Structure 1
Amino acid sequence: MFYKLIEKKRDLWLASDECTVKSLIHYIEHRGMMRDAQIEAIKTYLYLKIACQNKPLWQLFVEGKFNDTNVGEEELTDTTRQVFATTPAAVALFQYSRLRDKKGKQLSPGLEKLIRHHAAEIDYEAAFKKIFYGVSYTDYVFSLPMGAGKTFLMAAFICLDLHFARNEENNPAFAHNFMILAPSGLKSSIVPSLKHIQEFDPSWVIPEPSATEVARLIKFEVLDEQKSAGKSNKVKNPNAQKINNHQPLDDLMGLVAITNAEKVILDRLTDDKDPTLFSKEELKKIEQANELRNIIGRLPHLSIFIDEVHHAADGEIKLRQVVNKWTANQTFNAVLGFSGTPYLEKTEAMTLFGDFAIRNTDLSNVVYYYPLIEGVGNFLKVPEVKFTDNDRAVIIDNGVREFLDKYRHTTYANGTCAKLAIYCSQIETLEEDIYPQVAEIVADYGMNPTDVILKYHGGNKQYPQAEGAAAAFASLDTSLSHIKIILLVQIGKEGWDCKSLTGVILPQKGACPTNMVLQTSCRCLRQVVRHEHETALIWLNAFNAEKLNRQLLQQQNITLQEFGNKPKPDVPLIDRYSRMEKLRVPDIDFYQLKVSYETLVIDDATHPAERLSDERLLVSRPVSLIHRQDLEGRLLDTYEQEDETIHRVTYHWWLQRIAKESFGTLSVAMLRTCDEQLKRIFSKTTKLKDGYTVEDTAYDQARIRSLIRQAFAPIRDFRVREELLPCQASLLKIEKLTSPVEDSEKFYPPQQDVHDIIDLDQRPPQKEISEKEKDMLEKLRLKGFDVSKILPQEDPHPERTQTYHYLPYRFDSNLERDFLTKELLPIIHDQQLEAYFNGDETLTQFVINCYQQKGGTWRYAGRYVPDFLLLSRKADGSIDRVVIIETKGEGFAAKFADRLRFMQTEFIRQNNEKFGYRRFDFLYLEDTLTAEQRRQKTLQKINDFFNNPTSK
């Protein structure tokens, strides 16, 4: 329940001027790729990272970070009031005690009473440390129901941390490397679902070009090797080798390692056992397991993500023991847990004072909670839940037949067919009873059981796992699978991501563990198509129904009736319209710079012997001078640093090293074709010492080896080709303007204004009437008629003739909306100018490729979608002049610098030269300017560009 206090303060921060990520949140919401549950979790994450500096929860509560209780209005004793005035932690605990649950019941009236009467006797810091499990490091839990996208939320956190870490490398709040763990006790189905994290697109939460830069930074490693690497002298554990390949670790950034903790991290954890009890072979395996744990602990600025963290809640669990050791690293960042069921199997009692204890049934370090019921009908299917007292055979018969009646012909938009999972208690039960019954039912519906039924279990001596069953199970959620019914034993209870699963049957006690009825029943709720109203079917026996109801009440605070009867949410929709024909907006003609590189071969490497004979290849080692001074800065002496390292070499070893450093592009056999020249180089760059041939430190050995490799490679150069290509772009891709769409505060103008403008386009208001009409209206008025409604009307939306080529616009920020409506349109209302919003890249074709010059060559700087176009027309209606206007928040200005420079120095110049007059200009406005300053700059640009005849 602590998350309620955090959420309240988070919302205040997001609305305040202190919040530095408003633009980023707006971007994520506008991008539209993250669910509402994920976006709310991101808000909490950024609040804890930035406003709370990534501090541990106990410390934040002790500091009173989330306090909002007005102590002055409380009836308190003088002692308690004094404690509250000097101890923020006391107020925090008091505030927590008075929280109320969904039913309005106070969380802990006993704790409130204790604080009121014994405020000065309680050790609040110790209490909060005990509440948050006594850990000293940052440990947050994010609770989202299955189907909400916990895996992609992890990916979003990773991308956001790396985004900020790149800008503030020394800020300890942001992690540089990440370890994602499926905790001990879970089967291998978790890790495949975690691997989907690699499919996440950073641009869903970070704007370009930062998103691409973060994507390049990320390096994924899946630690799933089970055998030892016996040939390596340095690393025996192959999973440790995967991490060791990223040396040096000290400045490593962007590593994302994914593993199943039980199989890899916790393998042979024997800290509490006497090593003399093990054989040499077992000790060797223990050493290999420790090697992986030790190298993980060395990763700098490491953040640990634990999926299904409720399995690792107990501090005595081995996974938590290992994590606690990793947190000893000085740069350790945080532990983040993710769970759809953040509840403890047993009530946890914590003594705070004397014999008073508070009792928890959920994880206290939950910082964000999204209830399951809110996901139903939002991003989860709406289930129909049925149960009966009948025996297993009747339940299966009813459940399978109802599923086939409702969903036999259901095929989702992605090509997958609806599926039903039947959970069985034992392999024998599945094979001998349930499969024959289901096969008979399927045959009654005219289907072949071998084509549509999959039996999947671990197998035993009597019934081994069917050949191909694992592959068929893995491909269930693809259009290739025609399976409609899956029979399972001890599989698919948790972490199984099959969106096309549409029904579940738990026909008997033991079909799944008693404490996992809720998780197992919900396997069929994942939504296939976003924003579609999809349904599911759940059949249970009476025992499992009772357990489901109890777990819903305990974990979700809802009843089985609420769970199965949530109405379809009323999603507000708005209409969108194109006005391109009404305004007759022409295409934009412009010139686009295209830079291409042509590779030229200057020397085709057919004469390596000649190039190896060049004496300039024998490069001397650069001199390194050491300066010695005293504490007052006086120079005492200077001497040359000598390389005293002795490297024994042979000619053959030297050739092999040259070949190895070529990474497979050069073989020893190729080198031996120039033996004469290479032996000469070898003899000149080595010397005899103590009877051995050693490298001569007077030469730069690495550079010489590099030049030898280059002698066997073609000498290439590049020719840069620049072209200005004529382009034509429409300001609206009409086929992309879908309607209706879900409403959002980003759309402007409001829907009523949109409909008014469309009506005015069809029936414009009458501005003038004749004298005869005036006389007639006057006579009607004198007779008592109300003529106000038929008198000439002012146009309520005069701006419609100068803007809105489609309606409504969707703005990324308030800055864009306010600039158009409050600053630009009022300036041009009496001028022959038009202003159009161009900033929605999904709807416009007017996109500019930008470049930057570095070292005399062009480098691509990214695509640029201008925010606004302010234009004038010629007499024939074609475009005469265009001012490209960009509005930018201060936080995004640095990322835009290269494109800004290109627009101001290259695009405008090149296009105006091609057209032969000032056809284009550019105006850049930041939110650091006041509204009045932006108006003045805009007016100045208009006067200079459009109204100054000498500018032609």
Structure 2
Amino acid sequence: MAKNAQDNFELNNSFYVHLHEFYKIHRGTIRKNYTRLSKAFLDFNEPSRPGSFLRVPQFEALEIYVFLKEFLDNKPVFQLFEDWYTSQSKFAERVSGISTVDGQIMQGDMFWEMSEKDYKGIFKKMKASNDGRLYPNYIFALTMGTGKTILMATCIFYDFLAGNKKGKDERFIQNALIFAPDKTVLQSLREIESFDHSKVVPPEYMPIVAEFKFHYLEDAGVSLNTMDGSKFNIIVSNSQKIILRRDSKGKSTVDKLFSSGKEMYQGLGDVEDEAMAMLGLDDDSIAAAPQDEADLVTNQRFEKIKRLPQLGIFVDEAHHAFGAKLAKDMGIKADNTANSLRKTIDELAINLKQAGTRVVGCYNYTGTPYVGKDVLPEVVYAYGLRKAIDNNYLKQVKLNGYSNTRHEEFLEIAINDFLAKADEIGRPENILPKMAIFGTTVEELTTEIRPAVEKILAKHGISSDRILINVGDAKHTTDDDIREFNRLDSPNSEKQFILLVNKGREGWNCRSLFSVALYREPKSKVFILQATMRCLRAIGDRQHVGHIYLTKENMALLDKELQANFRISTDELKEPDPNKETVHVRVEQPSIKVPIKRVRRQFKLIEKEDLKDGYKLGLDEVVLDDYRLIHETQQGLLMPDDIGTVKNRAREDLSFLKEQRTFTKLSLVADIARYINKPCLEIEKIIAATEEGFDGILELVNKFNEVLYDQVIPRLFKAMYDIESESVTEEFEVDLVKEPPIDPGYYPVTVSKDKIIRKSSLALAELTGKSFHLDNYCFDSNPERQFFWDMLHDKQVDKIWFTGMLTHGQSDFVIHYVDTETQRVRSYYPDFLIKKQDGSYVMVEVKGEHMIDSQNVRDKKDAAELMGVASGIGYEIVTGKSADSGSYDRAFLN
């Protein structure tokens, strides 16, 4: 480690990565500490669950959010870092040195050999960013287009549900205040209310979601209407002026008269003091008084927010909302002047604490973990631009730079190229592809750009009706234009060329935007990054390409901003990772079908005849000692020869200390009816017919409530019903892979080039008949690739198919199993299906050695073997190391 590691070492680039690695390694142990609600919420949003809504980066960020709350107790990042570095508290099991994660050898953590001096330097920087705050501050850095708004909503919903469940637990929020940097972003945040909440909230918790209340403070004149002490309020404000602000401008004589301030009474001698006393004014109240109507409204908002319990503060587009002083405020650079937003949050924290509640935490959502050359100290999760493109969450990028062109020449080249590309694109999701052209001023756009665009479109026979202008000026942008701007992603929108000035940066989520053109150098350097990246949002079933047209000068500016914000260059953005390739995987015809047998057990509930009077439930057989609270004492230590003696032992029944509900005849009937699903009158008749009767049952269950649910209800159910079961064997054929959508007609898979085996390979010319239900196989690891290659050349193998490649519902060859940890039904796709020479089948899973004995692998194995028994299909697990070396036992082929 370098001497000045704290200066040149990207501390959180290692900490947030290793925080996530710690979670992944210890996920099973960590989840055991979670409540049922947290487990259910995560299970419902798990991307591997069929029908789940969240993308992988959204879900990973949600996992970290829950991890910080449930396991790490909402501690500030600097405290987590200290615990993590010293392997104490919740990080006592931290991995150090060399270990394996997901089958890959890795260094356990980057700080395992860090000097104490270097550690203290980094810790000091971390602590400085949170020093003196009454709340923890976390940053989630997900690049644009990965779904920060939905992630924020999901985190708030989870927190509300957990806060409702846990009451006054200080780790969880009951109200949320969201700051948006401007009206454009605020409009995009309306998606928090409008999207289908059932996509991220388990059905059993949806009734609570109906109680959530949304408040939007778009204009200065809008007051906040929340009930004092209420919960489930989600307040969205585009204004940072919630704290009272003084008017620095002078006041006229009339203003002074109607402001009734102290100066009105000055110079009146004793009358001044009397008037001030009568009005309840003093020097402090005058200094803090609102100066105009707008200040009265913003102060009203602040006062209402102060009265809401357990407030969580969420900052959207945090890099923008904090302005130019973000780096200083976040502890990157020394500065004694905090910006107004941070002051507002700090002031809220102080006031809520005085009111007996608190700001639970501040959760910042931004597109990058970087500010200039530094990493923000409090980043807890990050997902970068390059990764989002590689994993098909964004469009690919093609940058077009031009030098020595005049304005109109540049526009004509860009528009002509876009129109040619638009013909190839068609209408993804039946939406017309769009192009955005940015001007630096309204005058430039209206007097130069618009006429030039109209002239160019006329050459192509395209009407100027295809043009939409949004410049924030009512002279040029009507209300109808705003409505059209907000419906650009609609199939009914016929606007195609969007002319903008300082619009459409953060918060403009136009997925049908395929191109951006920017000619003159903008005043804001970061604007070029924000504007050009707008066309990268994904649309349709395949990965498209976003085309960006820039002058040579603007290309240089973009390269600088990419380096500063994403640590990549325009060269890297132009071309995907040279070691990876997006393969268009197509289904070979005829498609492969496999015979499967599934055993399904059916249960029938047969109602018995009415119970005869005097039916005995047998409650006298219940061993009540199983329900007593027994206190045992022992005097001294017993030697082996003393076992069995009781002279040194004593037992005391303390069952009277147990909290017990006192049942009445009515409540007993109601509780039983709820479980057995019978009318109360019928239950009353049945209980009265038993030998024990109401008196006998009430006497027992009022001593030990558990007896009602453990003994009485099951015995009554058995007396009323018989259960018959039968096994039904179903035989059918399943497709190894489903046909992809007609458009595009293939499945896109991004994978390392060295892990691709193509059917068209000359080296496989004589062996392709033994495999390939797809034209290309893309392997996750070298052991899988090597195992396939070995089996392809093994004479005992008739056919081999790689079935672990498409695992998101594209195949019917799937095994459903119950995950022991979560008690949820999940889908499992074995890596390989082999048909042996005798016509029988065997499924093979290649798994890293460190995972062989995990509970999840055992659950999959049990389910696979159960299905295999019915279908005559074997199951085998091969370790990654032996698969790579070819040293595994091939007995499963015999």
Output the TM-score relative to the length of structure 1.
Answer: 0.53
The corresponding residue for 1:549 is 559
The corresponding residue for 1:270 is 246
Question: Does the C-alpha gap of structure 1 residues 292 and 432 become closer, same or farther in structure 2, counting only changes over 3 Å?
Answer: same
Asked if 1:258 corresponds to 2:258, the answer is no
State the one-letter code of the partner of 2:536: L
Partners of 1:294 and 1:124 in 2: CA distance: 38
Shift of 1:297: 2.2
Shift of 1:284: 4.7
Is this contact kept in 1: 2:186–2:237, CA < 8 A?
A: yes
Counterpart of 1:522 in 2: which secondary structure?
Answer: helix
The corresponding residue for 1:900 is none
Question: Does the C-alpha gap of structure 1 residues 301 and 224 become closer, same or farther in structure 2, counting only changes over 3 Å?
Answer: same
Is this contact kept in 2: 1:147–1:527, CA < 8 A?
A: yes
State the one-letter code of the partner of 1:454: L
The corresponding residue for 1:457 is 471
Shift of 1:32: 3.0
State the one-letter code of the partner of 1:215: V
- Which structure has more relative contact order (CA 8 Å, sep 6+)? It is 2
Counterpart pick for 1:404 among 419, 435, 438: 419
Q: Map of 1:345-364 to 2, 5 A cutoff?
A: 361-364=374-377
The corresponding residue for 1:721 is none
State the one-letter code of the partner of 1:318: S
Q: Map of 1:352-751 to 2, 5 A cutoff?
A: 361-377=374-390, 378-390=392-404, 391-408=406-423, 410-449=425-464, 451-459=465-473, 464-466=476-478, 468-510=480-522, 513-529=524-540, 531-566=541-576, 569-570=582-583, 738-739=738-739
The corresponding residue for 2:210 is 216
Shift of 1:132: 3.9
Counterpart pick for 2:309 among 293, 300, 322: 300
Is this contact kept in 1: 2:142–2:366, CA < 8 A?
A: yes
Is this contact kept in 1: 2:183–2:218, CA < 8 A?
A: no
The corresponding residue for 2:20 is 7
Task: Give a deviation string over 1:217-243, Cα, whole Å, max 9, x none.
Answer: 32222223543xxxxxxxxxx5222x2
Shift of 1:276: 12
Is this contact kept in 2: 1:5–1:66, CA < 8 A?
A: no
Is this contact kept in 1: 2:135–2:349, CA < 8 A?
A: yes
Partners of 2:467 and 2:538 in 1: CA distance: 22
Counterpart pick for 2:371 among 320, 330, 344: 344
Asked if 1:808 corresponds to 2:802, the answer is no
Shift of 1:734: 9.9
The corresponding residue for 1:317 is 339
The corresponding residue for 1:139 is 137
Shift of 1:407: 0.7
State the one-letter code of the partner of 1:295: K
State the one-letter code of the partner of 2:234: V
Task: Give a deviation string over 1:528-555, Cα, whole Å, max 9, x none.
Answer: 22x5111111000111100111111222
The corresponding residue for 2:186 is 191
Is this contact kept in 1: 2:596–2:733, CA < 8 A?
A: no
Question: Does the C-alpha gap of structure 1 residues 152 and 418 become closer, same or farther in structure 2, counting only changes over 3 Å?
Answer: same
Question: Does the C-alpha gap of structure 1 residues 491 and 758 become closer, same or farther in structure 2, counting only changes over 3 Å?
Answer: closer
Q: Map of 1:757-836 to 2, 5 A cutoff?
A: 807-809=812-814, 811=816, 813-815=818-820
Partners of 2:796 and 2:562 in 1: CA distance: 62
Partners of 2:140 and 2:504 in 1: CA distance: 23
Counterpart of 1:423 in 2: which secondary structure?
Answer: strand
Is this contact kept in 2: 1:307–1:338, CA < 8 A?
A: yes
Is this contact kept in 2: 1:145–1:341, CA < 8 A?
A: yes
Partners of 1:325 and 1:302 in 2: CA distance: 13
Counterpart of 2:223 in 1: which secondary structure?
Answer: helix
The corresponding residue for 2:881 is none
Task: Give a deviation string over 1:306-346, Cα, whole Å, max 9, x none.
Answer: 1011131354211111111112223321100011134336x
Shift of 1:387: 0.6
Shift of 1:487: 1.1
Partners of 1:379 and 1:26 in 2: CA distance: 22
Counterpart of 1:379 in 2: which secondary structure?
Answer: coil
Question: Does the C-alpha gap of structure 1 residues 473 and 125 become closer, same or farther in structure 2, counting only changes over 3 Å?
Answer: closer
Question: Does the C-alpha gap of structure 1 residues 818 and 168 become closer, same or farther in structure 2, counting only changes over 3 Å?
Answer: closer
Partners of 1:467 and 1:416 in 2: CA distance: 22
Counterpart of 2:173 in 1: which secondary structure?
Answer: coil
State the one-letter code of the partner of 1:326: L
State the one-letter code of the partner of 2:66: L
Counterpart of 2:210 in 1: which secondary structure?
Answer: helix
Is this contact kept in 2: 1:410–1:417, CA < 8 A?
A: no
Asked if 1:115 corresponds to 2:117, the answer is yes
**Number of corresponding residues:** 577
Question: Does the C-alpha gap of structure 1 residues 564 and 218 become closer, same or farther in structure 2, counting only changes over 3 Å?
Answer: same
The corresponding residue for 1:607 is none
Task: Give a deviation string over 1:656-683, Cα, whole Å, max 9, x none.
Answer: xxxxxxxxxxxxxxxxxxxxxxxxxxxx
Question: Does the C-alpha gap of structure 1 residues 580 and 36 become closer, same or farther in structure 2, counting only changes over 3 Å?
Answer: same
Partners of 1:310 and 1:322 in 2: CA distance: 17
Mind listing any 5+ residue stretches in structure 1 that lack a counterpart? 69-85, 96-103, 228-237, 346-359, 594-729, 745-754, 760-787, 797-805, 822-889, 891-926, 936-952
State the one-letter code of the partner of 1:508: R
State the one-letter code of the partner of 2:393: F
Counterpart of 2:514 in 1: which secondary structure?
Answer: strand
Counterpart of 1:414 in 2: which secondary structure?
Answer: helix
Partners of 2:305 and 2:505 in 1: CA distance: 30
Shift of 1:269: 2.4
- Structure having the higher Rg: 1
The corresponding residue for 2:297 is 288
After TM superposition, the structure 1 stretch with the greater mean CA deviation from structure 2, 387-396 or 811-820, is 811-820
Is this contact kept in 2: 1:155–1:200, CA < 8 A?
A: no
The corresponding residue for 1:629 is none
Partners of 2:796 and 2:152 in 1: CA distance: 62
Is this contact kept in 1: 2:313–2:359, CA < 8 A?
A: no
Question: Does the C-alpha gap of structure 1 residues 592 and 269 become closer, same or farther in structure 2, counting only changes over 3 Å?
Answer: farther
Partners of 1:493 and 1:562 in 2: CA distance: 22
Shift of 1:569: 3.3
Counterpart of 2:511 in 1: which secondary structure?
Answer: coil
Shift of 1:133: 5.8
Question: Does the C-alpha gap of structure 1 residues 239 and 158 become closer, same or farther in structure 2, counting only changes over 3 Å?
Answer: same
Counterpart pick for 2:224 among 206, 224, 240: 240
The corresponding residue for 2:73 is 53
Task: Give a deviation string over 1:687-744, Cα, whole Å, max 9, x none.
Answer: xxxxxxxxxxxxxxxxxxxxxxxxxxxxxxxxxxxxxxxxxxx999999995457999
Partners of 2:748 and 2:506 in 1: CA distance: 32
Counting aligned pairs with the same residue, the percent is 24
State the one-letter code of the partner of 1:487: L
State the one-letter code of the partner of 1:51: F
Shift of 1:504: 0.2
Task: Give a deviation string over 1:779-822, Cα, whole Å, max 9, x none.
Answer: xxxxxxxxx9899x9xx9xxxxxxxxx9422547434899999x
Question: Does the C-alpha gap of structure 1 residues 809 and 125 become closer, same or farther in structure 2, counting only changes over 3 Å?
Answer: closer
After TM superposition, the structure 1 stretch with the greater mean CA deviation from structure 2, 172-181 or 465-474, is 465-474
RMSD: 5.3
Is this contact kept in 1: 2:220–2:297, CA < 8 A?
A: no
Counterpart of 1:306 in 2: which secondary structure?
Answer: strand
Partners of 2:53 and 2:505 in 1: CA distance: 28
Counterpart of 2:168 in 1: which secondary structure?
Answer: coil
After TM superposition, the structure 1 stretch with the greater mean CA deviation from structure 2, 170-179 or 440-449, is 170-179
Is this contact kept in 1: 2:814–2:827, CA < 8 A?
A: no
Output the TM-score relative to the length of structure 2.
Answer: 0.56
